[in-house]
Amino acid sequence: MKKFTYHTPAGIGEALELLAVYKEDSALVAGGTDVVIELNERKKTPAHVIDISRIDELRYIRQDTHIRIGALNTFAALEKDQWIRAMLPALHETVVHVGSPQIRNLGTIGGNVVNASVAGDSPTTLLAYGGELVLRSTKGERVMTIDEFNEGPGRCQIRPDELLTEVRIPMLNRNEGVGYFKIGKRKSLAIVVLAVSIYIKRSLDNRIEDCRVVLGAVGKHPMRVPEVEAALRDKPVARNVFRESLPLFTAVVQKTIATRPSVVYKREGVRGAAMGCFEQILSDFELA
């Protein structure tokens, strides 16, 4: 670790002031589960480290038109939140499978999004939910979708003077369901080898009115799969329909990462992960 000046802003305003001054010369630390490793390995050598973990005003979970999640919520906080569990079961399923209890106690959802790892846990699910991000700086506020935000790997649209303050998800009704399925190499402390998250909105006659199908750890960031989405639209919400779509998942993975050694695994495993999502949605819709 190189020497740096350490700042601990107590509020958002103070943090934004520091970011406005130090910009690229600084690194933000929330939970530290990614940044501290990069500092130790000298992959980052900032002159200033801004530790935002004391900004308690970013730990809220609120609901109005959206479900609003303050960026400093840890995975453990989200895991324990009964309301998140009831309203956003796929997000709950995501956070309980992040790392280990120790990592979940420190790691934050905001940090996970900004870190923009190819194998990040929550961005895949947030993209399926149609999540948006609120970015603030001394100059004002920007809101963008996860799709727009991701550039990956390790890159995203955040500017050096900006702070991610909120992740928000549009309110879902009973006819909308989301599933999430992660494959890791072991049962805990495993990074995402492959993840699938699927959102489905059904019509009154039980057809797929809208859907978002997202693959994690396949492309350089979580990616929508228009081919599958198009094939599903207007079809009945039924297990056999979902089963019939599985070969498309394989084809997309094959096409996307044709030359990588892991394609041998991912093109087959993606069907199991996708079917895991579909089963959760069927269960949400009480069709299981």
Partner 1 sequence: MNHNYSVMGKSVTRKDALDKVMGTARFAADMKVPGMLWGGVFRSSIVAGVVKSFDPSGALAIPGVECVLTHQDIPGKNRIGIILKDEPILVEDKIRRYGDAIALVAAESRELLQEALEAIRVEYEEHEPVLTIEQAAKKDAPKIHGDRNQYQIKHLEHGNVDEAFKNCDVIVENDYETPMLSHMFIEPEAGLAHYENGIMTVHSSTQNPHYDRGEIAAMLNLPNNRVVSVQMTTGGGFGGKLDISVQCHGALLAYYTGRPVKIVRSREESTLLSSKRHPMKLHYKTGATKDGKIKAVQVNITSDSGAYASYGPAVITRAAVHAAGPYEVPNVRVDASFYYTNNPMAGAFRGFGVPQVAVAHEGQMNAIAKKLGMDAIELRLLNAHRPGTTTPTGQKLDNNVGFIPCLEAVREKAKEVLPSCIPSGPSKRRGRGYGCMYYGIGNTGLPNPAGAFLEVLPDASVNLMVGCADIGQGSTSVMAQIAAEELGLTYEDVHVTFANTQVTPEGGASSASRQTFISGNATLLAARMAKETLASVAADYLKTSADQLVFQDREIRVKAHSEVRMDYGELMGEMKRLGKLALGCGSYNPVTTGLDPKDMTGSPFEVYSYAAALVDLEVDIETGLVDVLNVISAHDVGTAVNVHAVEGQIEGGVVMGTGFALLEKTEVKDGKITNPLFSKYLLATMMDVPNIYPIVVESAGEAGPFGAKGVGEPALIPAIPATADGVENALDIHFGKLPIQPIDIMREYYKKCP
**Interface positions with partner 1 (CB under 8 A):** 100, 183, 185-191, 193, 262, 264-265, 268-269, 271-273, 275
Nearer to partner 1, 178 or 273 (CB): 273
Nearer to partner 1, 44 or 136 (CB): 44
Nearer to partner 1, 61 or 191 (CB): 191
Smallest distance, partner 1 to C-beta of residue 184, A: 9
Nearer to partner 1, 179 or 269 (CB): 269
Smallest distance, partner 1 to C-beta of residue 271, A: 6
Q: Who contacts 166 (Cβ-Cβ below 8 Å, separation ≥6)? A: 58, 68, 69, 70, 71, 133, 134
Nearer to partner 1, 47 or 171 (CB): 47
Nearer to partner 1, 61 or 118 (CB): 118
DSSP string covering 100-165 = -HHHHHH-BHHHHHHH--TT-SHHHHHHHTT-EEEEEETTEEEEEEHHHHB--SS-BS--TT-EEE
Nearer to partner 1, 174 or 187 (CB): 187
Strand extents, DSSP E, 10-54: 26-29, 48-51
Smallest distance, partner 1 to C-beta of residue 37, A: 9
Smallest distance, partner 1 to C-beta of residue 273, A: 7
Q: 209, 202 in Cβ contact below 8 A?
A: yes
Q: Residue 197's closest CA among 108, 276, 110, 109?
A: 276
Amino acid at site 238:
A
Cα angle value 190/192/196 (rounded, 5°): 140
Owner of token pair 């999502």: 277
Smallest distance, partner 1 to C-beta of residue 81, A: 22
The partner residues of 147 in beta bridges, in order of sequence, read none
How many whole angstroms separate alpha carbon 168 and alpha carbon 170? 7
Smallest distance, partner 1 to C-beta of residue 95, A: 16
How many whole angstroms separate alpha carbon 161 and alpha carbon 17? 9
Smallest distance, partner 1 to C-beta of residue 68, A: 32
DSSP, res 45: -
